[in-house]
Amino acid sequence: MKLYLLWGMLIGSAGLLVVMLLRNRQAFQWFGMFSMQLVFAAVLLYLINLLTPYTHFELPLNAVTIGVVGVLGVPGLAALTALKLWVIG
């Protein structure tokens, strides 16, 4: 598939998302709340990684882990921690 077609679809869908957010106030508030949850998740994961010299436990700070903790909250963080400990040993 041509690269310009993919970029056109990306720009078009981003434009439609902006139009939907501007037309619907409730959607704009939802987007703001979700953004705040993602920021909180990133800060929480950063703080856990900041304590790595003391705990010897590290979770990667990437889009997947931030998304899981952002959507699920503290239970998502517990699930990631359990998964990491289970996979390592």
pLDDT tens across 23-70, in order? Answer: 887 877 888 888 899 999 999 999 999 999 998 889 999 999 999 999
- The pLDDT confidence band at residue 1, using thresholds 50, 70 and 90, is low
Question: For position 23, what pLDDT does the model report?
Answer: 84
d(CA 82, CA 89): 11
Q: How far apart are CA 15 and CA 22, in angstroms?
A: 11
pLDDT of residue 11 exceeding 90: yes
Question: What pTM did the predictor assign?
Answer: 0.70
8 Å CB contact between 69 and 60 = no
Residue 47 identity: L
